[in-house]
Amino acid sequence: MIAFWRALSKNRLALIGGAIVLVLALMAVAAPLVSPHDPHKPDVKRILESPSTRHWLGTDQIGRDVLSRMLYGARVSLAVGFVSVGIATAIGIALGAGAGYHGGPVDGAVMRLVDLMLVFPRFFLLLAVLAFLKPSIWTIMVVIGLTGWMGVARLVRAEFLALKEREFVIWSQSIGASAFRIIWRHILPNAMGPVLVAMTLGIPAAILTESGLSFLGLGVRPPYATWGNILNEGKEVIELAWWLSVYPGLAILVTVLSYNLLGEGIRDALDPRLRQSVGRFGGRGR
């Protein structure tokens, strides 16, 4: 653990990424305190104003403050990122642990399910599922989570396959511990490193996916502001108001970049050899 922190603290880029991640999270939590204006309050006298000292990032079509909307948008985007990755990780751990520990037909069934899910391009699958559901923030979180667990499942399975042959597992089996207890108390804690990395790299991927969906008008709907749907509204007036399109995009870019730097840093600090298995597609949504 000490070695881990020492390795991580030497990686300057990862630290910068981590600091930005932290600041973003704080600003999102404190959005009501730090936003200069009410994000939902229109002001018809100040429509599409360019950035000024009053409105740092300008105003939108109905005179709402873009900075405040982006701060509130950060809440939604980060919440979607965290919750959907939480869902994906929970499913991935449950299926991956079961498959890796029990092997045989369970393993076969789970891995075929993984293969089946991976056949569908994720964006097409998301759109198809969303077409059948009532749109809401919760739907988006659940759907992104349900289509993103395959990587974690494979990862956990691989860890379990290696760990279940180790002596401490065989000893626990010999004293009659239940499978659930062995998986939960003995093997899983040892397999959490790669899972943590996959989660850190999964959050930016989920944020990209959510903003892509919201940009198409199929994700989080107004009145909730997210970076994606500010961009969606902004593209209609891009020739008049560049600030509506430039800043939310930059916010997404910086956020995703920071999470990726942090995630890669954690991975290298845990074990440089993990490069092979985790995060091959880290941080890229579709």
Number of residues this chain uses to bind other proteins (CB under 8 A): 45
Question: Among the candidate windows 83-91, 94-102, 171-179, 245-253, which touches other proteins by CB under 8 A?
Answer: 245-253
The DSSP string of 242-257 is THHHHHHHHHHHHHHH
Q: Considering the rule CB under 8 A, would residue 275 count as an interface residue with other proteins?
A: yes
Helices and strands in the chain, H and E counts: 13, 0
Amino acid at the residue 76: V
Q: Considering the rule CB under 8 A, would residue 56 count as an interface residue with other proteins?
A: no
**Interacting residue with other proteins among 91, 94, 161, 257 (CB under 8 A):** 257
Q: Which two tokens stand for residue 83?
A: 């919750």
CA distance 256 to 264: 12
DSSP percent split of the chain into helix, strand, coil, nearest 5: 75, 0, 25
Q: Considering the rule CB under 8 A, would residue 12 count as an interface residue with other proteins?
A: no
111 CB-contact burial (10 Å; exposed 0-12 / middle 13-18 / buried 19+): middle
Q: Considering the rule CB under 8 A, would residue 142 count as an interface residue with other proteins?
A: no
Q: Considering the rule CB under 8 A, would residue 20 count as an interface residue with other proteins?
A: no
Site for other proteins in 165-224 (CB under 8 A): 204, 208, 211-212, 215-218
The DSSP string of 26-39 is HHHHTHHHH-SS-T
Site for other proteins in 222-241 (CB under 8 A): 231, 235, 238-239
Question: Among the candidate windows 56-64, 67-75, 93-101, 130-138, which touches other proteins by CB under 8 A?
Answer: 130-138
Task: Give whichever of 185 and 286 is closer to other proteins, judged by the CB atom.
Answer: 286
Buried b vs exposed e over 66-86: b needs ≥16 C-beta within 10 Å?
A: bbbbbbbbbbbbbbbbbbbbb
Residue 164 beta carbon to other proteins: minimum distance, rounded to whole angstroms? 20
Q: Which two tokens stand for residue 205?
A: 């991927």
Q: Considering the rule CB under 8 A, would residue 48 count as an interface residue with other proteins?
A: no
Residues in touch with other proteins (CB under 8 A)? 118-125, 127-128, 130-134, 204, 208, 211-212, 215-218, 231, 235, 238-239, 242, 245-246, 248-249, 252-254, 256-257, 260-261, 275, 280-281, 283-284, 286
